[in-house]
Protein backbone atom coordinates (compact mmCIF):
# COMPACT_ATOMS: atom_id res chain seq x y z
CA UNK A 1 0.00 0.00 0.00
CA UNK A 2 1.39 3.39 -0.96
CA UNK A 3 1.98 5.82 1.89
CA UNK A 4 0.30 9.23 1.60
CA UNK A 5 2.50 12.12 0.46
CA UNK A 6 4.39 13.77 3.29
CA UNK A 7 4.35 10.68 5.50
CA UNK A 8 8.07 10.19 5.17
CA UNK A 9 8.72 13.73 6.39
CA UNK A 10 6.84 12.81 9.58
CA UNK A 11 9.10 9.78 10.03
CA UNK A 12 12.12 11.99 9.41
CA UNK A 13 10.99 14.47 12.07
CA UNK A 14 10.39 11.69 14.61
CA UNK A 15 13.73 10.12 13.78
CA UNK A 16 15.57 13.44 14.22
CA UNK A 17 14.02 13.94 17.67
CA UNK A 18 14.89 10.37 18.66
CA UNK A 19 18.51 10.87 17.58
CA UNK A 20 18.82 13.81 19.95
CA UNK A 21 17.51 11.93 22.98
CA UNK A 22 18.68 8.33 22.51
CA UNK A 23 22.05 6.77 21.74
CA UNK A 24 22.23 5.54 18.16
CA UNK A 25 21.38 1.88 17.77
CA UNK A 26 24.11 -0.47 16.66
CA UNK A 27 23.89 -1.27 12.97
CA UNK A 28 21.74 -0.26 10.04
CA UNK A 29 18.40 -1.67 9.03
CA UNK A 30 18.52 -5.39 8.32
CA UNK A 31 16.90 -4.92 4.91
CA UNK A 32 18.52 -6.66 1.94
CA UNK A 33 18.35 -4.24 -1.00
CA UNK A 34 20.12 -2.95 -4.10
CA UNK A 35 20.01 0.86 -3.90
CA UNK A 36 20.63 2.89 -7.04
CA UNK A 37 20.74 6.50 -8.14
CA UNK A 38 19.33 7.33 -11.53
CA UNK A 39 18.00 9.95 -13.88
CA UNK A 40 14.93 9.37 -16.04
CA UNK A 41 15.52 9.79 -19.76
CA UNK A 42 14.14 13.11 -20.90
CA UNK A 43 13.54 14.25 -17.32
CA UNK A 44 15.30 17.40 -16.18
CA UNK A 45 14.19 16.74 -12.60
CA UNK A 46 17.64 15.63 -11.53
CA UNK A 47 18.86 12.71 -9.42
CA UNK A 48 16.47 10.20 -7.90
CA UNK A 49 16.92 7.22 -5.58
CA UNK A 50 15.59 3.78 -6.43
CA UNK A 51 15.67 0.17 -5.32
CA UNK A 52 16.25 -2.60 -7.84
CA UNK A 53 13.73 -5.43 -7.78
CA UNK A 54 16.71 -7.65 -8.54
CA UNK A 55 20.01 -7.40 -10.38
CA UNK A 56 19.24 -5.91 -13.80
CA UNK A 57 15.48 -5.75 -13.12
CA UNK A 58 13.04 -2.86 -12.74
CA UNK A 59 13.69 -0.01 -10.32
CA UNK A 60 11.24 1.27 -7.71
CA UNK A 61 11.30 5.09 -7.77
CA UNK A 62 11.30 6.22 -4.12
CA UNK A 63 10.23 9.80 -4.93
CA UNK A 64 7.28 8.55 -6.94
CA UNK A 65 6.30 6.25 -4.07
CA UNK A 66 6.51 9.12 -1.57
CA UNK A 67 7.50 12.64 -2.68
CA UNK A 68 9.00 13.38 0.75
CA UNK A 69 11.65 10.67 0.32
CA UNK A 70 15.27 11.87 -0.09
CA UNK A 71 16.71 12.64 -3.52
CA UNK A 72 20.11 11.00 -3.05
CA UNK A 73 21.45 7.82 -1.47
CA UNK A 74 23.69 9.91 0.78
CA UNK A 75 20.65 11.73 2.17
CA UNK A 76 18.88 8.40 2.61
CA UNK A 77 21.80 7.01 4.61
CA UNK A 78 21.92 10.13 6.77
CA UNK A 79 18.44 9.19 8.00
CA UNK A 80 19.81 5.92 9.39
CA UNK A 81 17.51 2.95 9.87
CA UNK A 82 14.43 5.06 9.18
CA UNK A 83 15.63 5.86 5.67
CA UNK A 84 16.42 2.27 4.77
CA UNK A 85 13.14 1.06 6.26
CA UNK A 86 11.32 3.58 4.07
CA UNK A 87 13.15 2.24 1.02
CA UNK A 88 12.21 -1.31 2.02
CA UNK A 89 8.55 -0.35 2.25
CA UNK A 90 8.71 1.14 -1.23
CA UNK A 91 10.32 -2.03 -2.60
CA UNK A 92 7.76 -4.26 -0.89
CA UNK A 93 4.87 -2.24 -2.32
CA UNK A 94 5.66 -3.27 -5.90
CA UNK A 95 4.48 0.18 -7.03
CA UNK A 96 6.22 2.96 -8.99
CA UNK A 97 8.44 0.57 -10.96
CA UNK A 98 10.49 1.93 -13.86
CA UNK A 99 11.91 -0.17 -16.67
CA UNK A 100 15.68 -0.14 -17.00
CA UNK A 101 15.34 1.20 -20.54
CA UNK A 102 13.66 4.33 -19.15
CA UNK A 103 16.50 5.39 -16.86
CA UNK A 104 20.20 6.21 -16.80
CA UNK A 105 22.00 4.66 -13.85
CA UNK A 106 24.36 6.99 -12.00
CA UNK A 107 27.01 6.15 -9.42
CA UNK A 108 25.23 4.92 -6.27
CA UNK A 109 26.94 7.71 -4.31
CA UNK A 110 27.81 11.14 -5.64
CA UNK A 111 29.73 13.91 -3.85
CA UNK A 112 30.75 11.92 -0.76
CA UNK A 113 32.71 13.69 1.92
CA UNK A 114 35.60 11.27 1.41
CA UNK A 115 36.88 8.71 -1.08
CA UNK A 116 39.31 6.55 0.87
CA UNK A 117 41.55 4.19 -1.12
CA UNK A 118 43.83 1.35 -0.06
CA UNK A 119 47.04 0.42 -1.83
CA UNK A 120 48.67 -3.00 -2.08
CA UNK A 121 45.89 -4.76 -0.19
CA UNK A 122 45.85 -8.12 -2.03
CA UNK A 123 48.38 -10.83 -1.25
CA UNK A 124 48.59 -11.85 -4.90
CA UNK A 125 48.99 -8.23 -6.06
CA UNK A 126 51.98 -7.79 -3.72
CA UNK A 127 53.52 -10.99 -5.07
CA UNK A 128 52.97 -9.73 -8.62
CA UNK A 129 55.28 -6.77 -8.00
CA UNK A 130 57.67 -8.50 -5.56
CA UNK A 131 56.61 -6.06 -2.86
CA UNK A 132 56.64 -6.77 0.89
CA UNK A 133 53.29 -7.40 2.57
CA UNK A 134 52.24 -4.14 4.28
CA UNK A 135 52.14 -4.19 8.08
CA UNK A 136 49.59 -1.35 8.11
CA UNK A 137 46.99 -0.29 5.52
CA UNK A 138 48.42 2.02 2.85
CA UNK A 139 45.86 4.82 2.61
CA UNK A 140 45.48 7.42 -0.14
CA UNK A 141 42.51 9.19 -1.67
CA UNK A 142 40.74 10.38 -4.76
CA UNK A 143 38.81 13.62 -5.01
CA UNK A 144 35.05 12.97 -5.07
CA UNK A 145 34.92 14.68 -8.49
CA UNK A 146 36.61 11.58 -9.95
CA UNK A 147 33.43 9.51 -9.40
CA UNK A 148 31.49 8.60 -12.52
CA UNK A 149 28.62 6.27 -13.35
CA UNK A 150 28.72 2.52 -13.97
CA UNK A 151 28.41 2.95 -17.75
CA UNK A 152 30.03 6.38 -18.22
CA UNK A 153 33.10 6.89 -20.38
CA UNK A 154 36.63 6.92 -19.00
CA UNK A 155 38.23 10.08 -20.35
CA UNK A 156 41.90 9.74 -21.29
CA UNK A 157 43.64 12.93 -20.11
CA UNK A 158 46.14 14.44 -22.53
CA UNK A 159 48.55 14.80 -19.59
CA UNK A 160 49.02 11.02 -19.26
CA UNK A 161 50.16 8.27 -21.60
CA UNK A 162 49.93 5.46 -19.04
CA UNK A 163 46.31 5.03 -17.92
CA UNK A 164 45.64 1.68 -16.25
CA UNK A 165 42.73 -0.34 -14.84
CA UNK A 166 42.09 -1.64 -11.29
CA UNK A 167 38.93 -3.57 -10.41
CA UNK A 168 38.11 -3.08 -6.72
CA UNK A 169 35.51 -3.97 -4.13
CA UNK A 170 34.13 -0.73 -2.69
CA UNK A 171 31.98 -0.14 0.36
CA UNK A 172 30.02 2.85 1.61
CA UNK A 173 29.75 4.06 5.19
CA UNK A 174 26.21 4.18 6.56
CA UNK A 175 26.57 6.03 9.83
CA UNK A 176 28.90 8.47 11.55
CA UNK A 177 31.72 7.15 13.70
CA UNK A 178 35.21 7.76 15.11
CA UNK A 179 37.58 5.30 16.81
CA UNK A 180 35.41 2.40 15.67
CA UNK A 181 36.27 -1.00 17.09
CA UNK A 182 37.00 -3.71 14.58
CA UNK A 183 34.30 -5.97 16.04
CA UNK A 184 31.70 -3.22 15.48
CA UNK A 185 32.93 -2.06 12.10
CA UNK A 186 30.54 -3.92 9.79
CA UNK A 187 27.61 -2.25 11.51
CA UNK A 188 28.88 1.03 10.04
CA UNK A 189 28.76 -0.28 6.45
CA UNK A 190 25.68 0.57 4.37
CA UNK A 191 26.67 -1.73 1.53
CA UNK A 192 29.11 -2.76 -1.17
CA UNK A 193 29.58 -1.90 -4.84
CA UNK A 194 32.02 -2.27 -7.75
CA UNK A 195 34.74 0.29 -8.51
CA UNK A 196 37.46 0.83 -11.07
CA UNK A 197 40.40 2.70 -9.54
CA UNK A 198 41.57 4.08 -12.88
CA UNK A 199 45.20 5.19 -12.51
CA UNK A 200 47.63 7.32 -14.51
CA UNK A 201 50.82 5.38 -13.74
CA UNK A 202 53.21 8.05 -15.04
CA UNK A 203 51.80 10.57 -12.54
CA UNK A 204 51.51 7.97 -9.77
CA UNK A 205 54.98 6.45 -10.08
CA UNK A 206 57.23 8.97 -11.82
CA UNK A 207 55.92 12.52 -11.32
CA UNK A 208 54.54 14.76 -8.57
CA UNK A 209 57.16 13.44 -6.15
CA UNK A 210 55.63 9.96 -6.56
CA UNK A 211 52.67 11.08 -4.49
CA UNK A 212 49.69 9.06 -5.73
CA UNK A 213 46.89 11.63 -5.57
CA UNK A 214 47.16 13.34 -8.97
CA UNK A 215 47.60 10.06 -10.82
CA UNK A 216 44.45 8.69 -9.22
CA UNK A 217 42.05 11.60 -9.37
CA UNK A 218 41.61 12.79 -12.96
CA UNK A 219 37.97 13.33 -13.91
CA UNK A 220 36.15 10.01 -14.60
CA UNK A 221 38.85 7.96 -12.80
CA UNK A 222 36.42 6.33 -10.35
CA UNK A 223 33.56 4.53 -12.13
CA UNK A 224 31.23 3.18 -9.45
CA UNK A 225 28.13 0.97 -9.41
CA UNK A 226 25.87 -0.37 -10.63
CA UNK A 227 24.11 -0.57 -7.24
CA UNK A 228 24.84 -0.23 -3.55
CA UNK A 229 24.12 -3.74 -2.28
CA UNK A 230 23.28 -3.55 1.42
CA UNK A 231 25.39 -5.56 3.82
CA UNK A 232 22.48 -7.84 4.72
CA UNK A 233 22.15 -8.86 1.07
CA UNK A 234 25.74 -10.15 1.04
CA UNK A 235 26.72 -13.69 2.03
CA UNK A 236 30.38 -12.87 2.68
CA UNK A 237 32.03 -9.76 1.18
CA UNK A 238 35.43 -11.37 1.73
CA UNK A 239 34.75 -14.38 -0.48
CA UNK A 240 33.69 -12.91 -3.83
CA UNK A 241 35.16 -13.55 -7.26
CA UNK A 242 36.63 -10.41 -8.83
CA UNK A 243 37.38 -9.93 -12.52
CA UNK A 244 38.39 -7.20 -14.93
CA UNK A 245 38.09 -7.55 -18.70
CA UNK A 246 39.55 -5.26 -21.35
CA UNK A 247 37.92 -5.66 -24.77
CA UNK A 248 36.48 -8.97 -23.59
CA UNK A 249 39.82 -10.45 -22.49
CA UNK A 250 40.25 -11.25 -18.79
CA UNK A 251 43.14 -9.24 -17.35
CA UNK A 252 42.41 -9.62 -13.62
CA UNK A 253 40.86 -12.61 -11.87
CA UNK A 254 41.01 -13.18 -8.13
CA UNK A 255 38.88 -13.31 -4.99
CA UNK A 256 38.31 -10.89 -2.14
CA UNK A 257 39.64 -13.58 0.21
CA UNK A 258 43.06 -12.34 -0.95
CA UNK A 259 42.55 -9.02 0.84
CA UNK A 260 45.24 -8.40 3.47
CA UNK A 261 43.19 -5.91 5.49
CA UNK A 262 39.48 -6.75 5.47
CA UNK A 263 36.64 -4.25 5.68
CA UNK A 264 36.55 -4.28 9.48
CA UNK A 265 40.28 -3.61 9.80
CA UNK A 266 40.16 -0.75 7.30
CA UNK A 267 37.31 0.99 9.10
CA UNK A 268 39.00 0.60 12.49
CA UNK A 269 42.29 1.93 11.09
CA UNK A 270 40.99 4.94 9.15
CA UNK A 271 38.55 5.98 11.90
CA UNK A 272 41.54 6.48 14.20
CA UNK A 273 42.46 9.49 12.08
CA UNK A 274 39.19 10.88 10.70
CA UNK A 275 35.50 10.80 11.50
CA UNK A 276 33.63 8.63 9.02
CA UNK A 277 30.34 9.98 7.69
CA UNK A 278 27.38 8.49 5.81
CA UNK A 279 28.21 8.25 2.12
CA UNK A 280 31.99 8.00 2.53
CA UNK A 281 33.36 5.60 -0.08
CA UNK A 282 36.19 3.09 0.51
CA UNK A 283 38.05 1.39 -2.36
CA UNK A 284 39.69 -1.68 -0.88
CA UNK A 285 42.54 -2.45 -3.28
CA UNK A 286 43.06 -4.42 -6.48
CA UNK A 287 44.24 -7.96 -7.34
CA UNK A 288 47.06 -8.78 -9.80
CA UNK A 289 46.84 -8.25 -13.53
CA UNK A 290 47.13 -4.48 -13.86
CA UNK A 291 48.70 -3.19 -17.04
CA UNK A 292 51.77 -1.53 -15.58
CA UNK A 293 53.27 -4.82 -14.33
CA UNK A 294 52.77 -6.71 -17.58
CA UNK A 295 55.77 -7.45 -19.76
CA UNK A 296 55.73 -5.26 -21.72
CA UNK A 297 53.39 -2.87 -19.89
CA UNK A 298 49.92 -2.37 -21.40
CA UNK A 299 47.87 0.80 -21.03
CA UNK A 300 44.39 1.85 -22.05
CA UNK A 301 43.78 3.52 -25.39
CA UNK A 302 40.80 5.21 -26.99
CA UNK A 303 38.12 2.72 -27.99
CA UNK A 304 38.96 0.16 -25.30
CA UNK A 305 36.09 -1.16 -23.19
CA UNK A 306 36.78 -2.03 -19.55
CA UNK A 307 34.40 -4.26 -17.60
CA UNK A 308 34.80 -4.78 -13.85
CA UNK A 309 32.81 -7.65 -12.31
CA UNK A 310 32.29 -8.71 -8.71
CA UNK A 311 30.17 -11.68 -7.69
CA UNK A 312 26.77 -10.75 -6.15
CA UNK A 313 27.33 -7.06 -6.96
CA UNK A 314 27.23 -6.93 -10.76
CA UNK A 315 29.45 -5.24 -13.31
CA UNK A 316 30.38 -1.79 -14.55
CA UNK A 317 31.28 -1.26 -18.21
CA UNK A 318 33.16 1.84 -19.32
CA UNK A 319 34.40 2.84 -22.75
CA UNK A 320 37.69 4.71 -23.01
CA UNK A 321 37.43 7.96 -24.98
Tens digit of pLDDT for each residue in 207-217? Answer: 999 899 999 99
> Of 106, 134, 165, at which residue does a domain stop?
106
**150 & 205 share domain:** yes
- Range of the structural domain that residue 53 is part of: 34-106
Please count the structural domains in the chain.
Answer: 2
**The domain that contains 164 carries what CATH number?**
3.90.850.10
**154 & 229 share domain:** yes
In this predicted model, what pLDDT tens digit does every residue of 5-14 receive, in sequence order? 444 444 444 4
Q: Between helices 7-21 and 81-93, what is the axis angle to 10°?
A: 150
**240 & 268 share domain:** yes
**Whole-number Cα distances in Å, 321 to 154, 157, 247, 301:** 6, 9, 14, 8
158 belongs to a structural domain: yes
User: DSSP letter string over 63-87?
Assistant: HHH-TTS-SSHHHHHHTTHHHHHHH
Give the percent of the chain with pLDDT over 70: 90
Lowest mean pLDDT among 22-26, 135-139, 158-162, 177-181: 22-26
**92 & 230 share domain:** no
**Phi and psi at residue 310, to the nearest 5°:** -135, 130
In this predicted model, what pLDDT tens digit does every residue of 228-279 receive, in sequence order? 999 999 999 999 999 999 999 999 999 999 999 999 999 999 999 999 999 9
**Whole-number Cα distances in Å, 106 to 117, 125, 139, 141, 276:** 21, 30, 26, 21, 23
**91 & 120 share domain:** no
> Of 106, 124, 153, at which residue does a domain stop?
106
Q: How much is the pLDDT for 3?
A: 44
Q: How far apart are the C-alpha atoms of 215 and 288, rounded to whole Å? A: 19
Amino acid sequence: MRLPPGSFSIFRSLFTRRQRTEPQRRGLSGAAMRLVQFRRHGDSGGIRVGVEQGEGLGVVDLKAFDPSMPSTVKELLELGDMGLEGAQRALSSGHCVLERSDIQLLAPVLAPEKVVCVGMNYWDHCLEQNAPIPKEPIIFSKFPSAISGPYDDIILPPESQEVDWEVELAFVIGRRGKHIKEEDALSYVAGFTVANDVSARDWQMKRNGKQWLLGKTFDSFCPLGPALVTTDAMKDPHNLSVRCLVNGDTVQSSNTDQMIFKTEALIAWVSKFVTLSPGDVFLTGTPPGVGVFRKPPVFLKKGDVVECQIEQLGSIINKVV
